[in-house]
Amino acid sequence: MCLAVPGKIQSIEEGGRAVVDMLGVTREASLRLVPDAQVGDYVLVHAGFGIQVIDPEEARETIELFKQLPELADEGTPAEAVA
């Protein structure tokens, strides 16, 4: 299964690298596939790449679904696997 997580771009560095906040955790991601993305935009991040710019409402809805995943998964699944 492939999974893309919405994240908000915090900063953009030279070479198309960005710091992205995904569910409260900051990660580095490449924006080479979404060159028009700007600081403050939400992007879907998959395998370290921003793959699509999404609107803030779609990002919020998706984040809310992610927050519900531990309740829907087996009891043995740690909450950290979602964050």
Cα 73 off chain centre by = 20
Q: Return mean pLDDT, the chain.
A: 85
| In the predicted structure, residue 74 carries a pLDDT above the cut 80 | no
Confidence band, pLDDT 50/70/90 cuts, at residue 81: very low
pLDDT for the residue numbered 31 = 98
Residue by residue, DSSP assigns 37-69 as --TT-EEEEETTEEEEEE-HHHHHHHHHHHHHH
| In the predicted structure, residue 52 carries a pLDDT above the cut 60 | yes
In the chain, % of residues over pLDDT 90: 63
pTM of the shown model: 0.79
| In the predicted structure, residue 79 carries a pLDDT above the cut 90 | no
